[in-house]
Structure 1
Amino acid sequence: MLAVSSDLAFVGEAFAWARDRALAWVCTGAGNLPSYWAGYPSRPLFYSRDVCHQAAGAHLLGLDAENFAMFRHFARSATPARKWFPIWAFHFDGRIAALDYHDDEHFVREIPAVFDLAYRALEQYDWTGDRRWIDDPDLAAYYRHSVDDFVAAHDADGDGIPEAGGTADIFLGTATYNEREAPLLIAGDGLATQYAVLRKLGLHDRADRIQATYQDWWNGDHFARGMTKDGLDFDWGLESHTLVPLFGLSGTGERNELFLDYLEKQLESQPPLNIESFSYWPEFLFRHGRDEAAWRWTKHLIDSRDDYPEISFTVVEHLVAGLLGLRPDAPNAALSITSHLPAEIGELIVDNLPVGGWDLRIHQIGKHTTEVTVHSGPGPLTVTVGPDSETHSAAPGSTARVVQPKDHA
């Protein structure tokens, strides 16, 4: 079982809480699909948005069967009659949740979920190397439908970007995960998830066009959260802003850094009312090297001890993949590690880390020393470490030790 320890006792204690709480949400068996709770604790259901964001933590905890069953169930639900939108929520036995579904013309649907499901499913292939994530007929069809048929069915102006109706009715569909911004026709998180899955599928020309469109949403300080019938909307948008750097749509460089500055200010001055919206913040901050801020918000999630299932699952992810900057590529027997340890954490040890068929131990000291031990695996694993991208091959039963220059610390 995955284990985490650190010279900062708080880390080990937080991981133990998050691991145990997340595993307590597993609902597999007794007539249920392999599944885990993903949504409000008061609703015995799994929701698409929540499953997408819980999947990485679930993999780290060994819940690959649950991930596969739930993602495939969503994929199967995206039909021509529903204009290729997946169902929003299911009971653990696979029944559609009537709370969020009236009929095929009137059910909760949010554009980012369509692409998020495809991207996160493909990300599970990176973690596991399990060919089912690529070869399963339902998932393979869903990937194609999400970027082709879904877009065609909802792209009134032919620019390759699907639009929502611009109403305040989530049963008629919204452009964003933030339901308080329902009047948007196009939202940043919808664009970001579409961009990410296009890149994941190797459709780079189409992804580049999405990114070029988004660059026109700049006002000199930050990007718009979306577009209404009256034009660009530059108000603070929560997911419609924070998911943009998470999925890489804002790119890199000076404009992206200014945008991140804006986001950090807004996170302080206008935090969300719902705890699950906080769970994205460490992910995008770690990805862009804002390590102290990422750690601050990770601690916020930990200290909340909130019972919303997404919190425990994402805390597991943040304490492992976030702090270590893990980028798995199991199909190609490779793993990238870039330390994001904040000043408060001198060292972090993650043991029994599952990447494909490999069982790993990673001992990270600050931002300068990385040790990777391969307990077992199908063969050598290529490990790339740090900002200098030093590459080493670690065979089963061996340890690779990489020391980066101290100026990276």
Structure 2
Amino acid sequence: MTGRDGEPVTPTPLPPADPRVTSSDPKIVEMFDWSKRKANSWVQLPGTQGPLNVDENNTAGSGTGTYAASYWAGYANRSGYYSRDMAHQLAGAGVLGLHAENKAMLRSFAASATPAHKYYPAWALNFDAKTYLSIDYRSPTNFVREVPATFELVQKSEEAYRWSGDRSYLDDPALWDFYRRATDEFVTLHDGLKDNGAVKVAEGTGKGIFQGTASYNEQSSEPLAEAGDAIGSQYQAYLAMASLARSKGDCALADRYEAKARDLKAYFNSTWSGTGSGAAMVRGYTTDGRALTGWGKENSWFMPMKQIIEPGPRREAYLDYIDQQASGAGRPSNIEALTYLPDTFFRNNRNDTAWKWMKDVYDHKDVQHVNAKQGTNGDYPEVSFTLLGQTVEGLMGVVPDAPARTLSTRSRLPSGMDWLRIEDLRIGDSAFSLRHDGAAKSSLTHGSGSSPYTWEARFPGAYATVTVDGVARPARTKVVDGVTYTYASTVVAPGRTVTVQAG
């Protein structure tokens, strides 16, 4: 399974992409280089014969299987991948061009969300992409399941489609059926403990992970029926379903899910989250209807990370609260929980705080994991994959849309990082290089590809002018999630470099 240093001993394929980072700040270069090497070491070679159902209590496993295109996502001493971990690693895998792996793993979870499972996907599968990992699965009514994962898999399928451009995400019946049921029947089946009026909110049982929990926070003993990470993930799943439906040409379905997302967000902000701010904001409800405030770890930081909290002073106060708690007595002991904090703060334009947490995660990579049998923190696969994704989607603000042949970018460089460049960034069948100089200048090179891309270069703030390759254009602005951006759209053909500067 793994060598003494935690590296897999099975052969791994050559990476489909070889992204490279350079910067005025050597820390991000060191971090990215380590993360790329480490993440690639977790990739499984399709066709490999390997053990199944390996875990800390069954080190030899039970039988062998033929491994599918996949990568480790979960404890390094287990022979499989987990839905929660895989969802969080997907962007980093996209940066490495692991599109076949992302699709095979997402499809395996989709296929496992059967009526017998009440449309919950399996929590973990072996690397053969079909056998449920036995440590987490005992029977169709007795297996680990957590509400946010169902919704995150829908959201991440939409993101994988945007990275890869693979129409299978629209046309594969197993995937499409999963999206529809996860955002419809699943919600209806698991909504009965708390009255939410006209809005449906998926619930857990409050009885532990093998009976279905509302939150990813497994360290809590709270009997949660509804949780902030679940409702936030449900909101993003509705948006993803709308996006996928629109790409498929079903505008009526897209409109329906956009309305469901709006209604859920409005209900969350007007009613579900209470009227308090900071520590007084509601982040869950128990099975007997009590509202919970204070620090809930995942069910706290997922709410702003999933952007269900309306922009404004209340969200800013909650972000302050999250940083204070995670920096003090509320710091999670498990590194995989901390890997979400950069995403939380990047998504809310707290660049310096996000970068602080990226460095914190990286600087603790050689520390023993809280689960001693796991090895070091750096041998938890989520660490390397998330740092890759946070470099590209976070620091560089890349939003890919391969099916539409478009991408948008915005610099989120923190204080003290003057410039950052990435080469061999793969989106669909194209390879790009992108450089940000500060917050107001960006250059994109379309190194190779079959078609031109439309690039929307965004810059936070309202500027009077924008120059494209030195030619001034009238400035255009838009507001996205409460932030005003100046932007320019330009077509970048293969072989061309374009530089855009605001101000």
CA distance in structure 2 between the partners assigned to 1:208 and 1:231 by the alignment: 25
Deviations 1:190-241 (A, max 9, x none): 0011100101222121112211222121343133221112421002111111
308-317 or 326-335: bigger deviation: 326-335
Is 1:226 the counterpart of 2:281? The answer is no
- Partner residue in 1 for 2:20: 3
- CA–CA distance in 2 between the matches of 1:162 and 1:11? 39
Of 229, 236, 240, 2:295 maps to 236
- Cα pair 2:441 2:502 within 8 Å, conserved: yes
State the distance in 1 between where 2:231 and 2:309 align: 11
> 1:18 touches 1:315 (CA, 8 Å); kept in 2?
yes
For residues 340-396 of structure 1, the C-alpha deviation after alignment (integer angstroms, 9 at most, x for no partner) is 101221111100101122210001111121000001222221111122022111111
Query: If the length of structure 1 is used for normalisation, what is the TM-score?
Result: 0.96
* Contact in 2 for aligned 1:221/1:262 (Cα 8 Å): no
Partner of 1:99: 135
One-letter code aligned to 2:112:
S
Q: Which residue of 1 aligns with 2:116?
A: 81
* Higher share of residues assigned helix: 1
Confirm or deny that 1:38 pairs with 2:73.
yes
- Aligned counterpart, 2:323: 264
Structure 1 runs not aligned, ≥5 long: none
Q: Is 2:239–2:261's contact at 8 Å kept on the other side of the alignment?
A: yes
| Residue identity in the other structure for 2:333 | L
CA distance in 1, matches of 2:106, 2:175: 8
Is 1:139 aligned to residue 175 of structure 2? yes
CA contact (8 A) 1:48 1:113 kept: yes
Which of residues 138, 142, 148 is equivalent to 2:184?
A: 148
- Alignment of 1:180 with 2:180, yes or no, is no
Q: Give the superposition deviation at 1:26.
A: 0.8
CA deviations over 1:124-159 (Å, ceiling 9, x no partner): 111111111111111101000101111121112574
CA–CA separation in structure 1 for the residues paired with 2:117 and 2:153: 16
Preserved CA contact (<8 Å) 2:154 2:240: no
Say if 1:57 and 1:313, in contact at 8 Å, map to a contact too: yes
Mapped to 1, the partners of 2:170 and 2:502 lie a distance apart of 36
Distance in 2, matches of 1:281 and 1:272, equals: 11
**1:122 aligned residue:** 158
Q: 1:347 aligns with which of 391, 404, 419?
A: 419
The match for 1:166 is 206
Partner Cα separation in structure 1 for residue 314 and residue 333 of structure 2: 28
The separation in 2 between residues aligned to 1:354 and 1:251, in whole angstroms, is 33
Q: What's 2:336 paired with? A: 276
RMSD of Structure 2 on Structure 1 (CA): 1.3
Determine the structure 2 residue equivalent to 1:16.
33
SS of the residue aligned with 1:345? coil
Deviation string, structure 1 residues 266-289 (Cα, Å, up to 9, x no partner):
221211111001111111211111
Higher relative contact order (CA 8 A, sep 6+): 1
The answer to whether the 8 A contact 1:334-1:381 is kept is yes
Q: Which residue of 2 aligns with 1:190?
A: 230
State which drifts further: 149-158 or 178-187: 149-158
Distance change >3 Å, CA 219–CA 265, structure 1 → 2: farther
* Kept after mapping to 2: 8 A contact 1:122/1:134: no
After the TM superposition, which segments of 4 or more aligned residues of structure 1 sit over 2 Å from their partners?
A: none
For the pair shown, the structure with the greater C-alpha radius of gyration is 2
CA distance in 1, matches of 2:354, 2:190: 36
Q: Provide the rounded CA distance (Å) in 2 between the counterparts of 1:186 and 1:378.
A: 47
Matching of residue 55 in structure 1 with residue 90 in structure 2: yes
Q: How big is the shift at 1:397?
A: 0.9
Q: Which residue of 1 is the match for residue 304 of structure 2?
A: 245
Aligned partner of 2:44 among 13, 24, 27: 27
Match of 2:122, as an amino acid? I
Distance in 2, Cα, partners of 1:103 & 1:256 = 41
SS in 2 for 1:235: coil
Measure, in 1, the Cα distance between the counterparts of 2:275 and 2:335: 29
Deviates more, 1:246-255 or 1:66-75: 246-255
Q: Is the 2:435–2:443 Cα contact (8 Å) retained in structure 1?
A: yes
Runs of 5+ in structure 2 lacking a partner? 1-17, 49-65, 243-256, 366-377, 460-484
One-letter amino acid matched to 2:303: V
CA distance in 2, matches of 1:194, 1:48: 15
- Higher mean alpha-carbon deviation, 279-288 vs 150-159, is at 150-159
Give yes or no for contact 1:287–1:325 (8 Å, CA) kept in 2.
no
Q: Which moved more, 1:209-218 or 1:23-32?
A: 209-218
CA distance in 1, matches of 2:357, 2:433: 26
Percent of residue pairs identical: 39
Number of residue equivalences: 404
- Which among 192, 209, 220 is matched to residue 263 of structure 2? 209
| 1:62 Cα deviation after fit | 1.5
User: Alignment partner for residue 373 of structure 1, among 421, 433, 445?
Assistant: 445
Aligned partner of 1:293 in structure 2 is 353
SS of aligned partner of 2:169: helix
